[in-house]
Amino acid sequence: MTSSKGEVMLTVYSKTNCPACINTKVLLGKYGVSYKEINMDENQAAKEFLVSEGHRQVPQIYRGTDLFIKGGWLGLMSLNEAEIKKMLYGD
């Protein structure tokens, strides 16, 4: 997926009142990474998708239909900005 600027866009699956979800969105924003949020509390199909993928917690970060970072917030937090951008853009 791409944003209007042609950048790679991630999908953050989240829930309402989820501190790890909020932290994930803040960190992605800080790094200038485009993402769209899908709130599991509001989207049953998204919830079913994540359960079918074996996930039991949020946030989960996807690039298209592929898991981008294993471990959600903890996985994201373990990487620095350069590592995340390399994963996204291959630079």
The pLDDT confidence band at residue 7, using thresholds 50, 70 and 90, is low
Closest by CA to 15, choosing from 38, 34, 36, is 38
Q: Is residue 37 within 8 Å of residue 14, measured between CB atoms?
A: yes
The C-alpha atoms of residue 64 and residue 2 are separated, in whole angstroms, by 10
Kindly state the helix (H) or strand (E) to which residue 35 belongs, with its residue range. strand 34-39
Q: How many helices (H) and strands (E) does the chain have?
A: 4, 4
For 24-78, what is each residue's pLDDT tens digit?
999 999 999 999 999 999 999 999 999 999 999 999 999 999 999 999 999 999 9
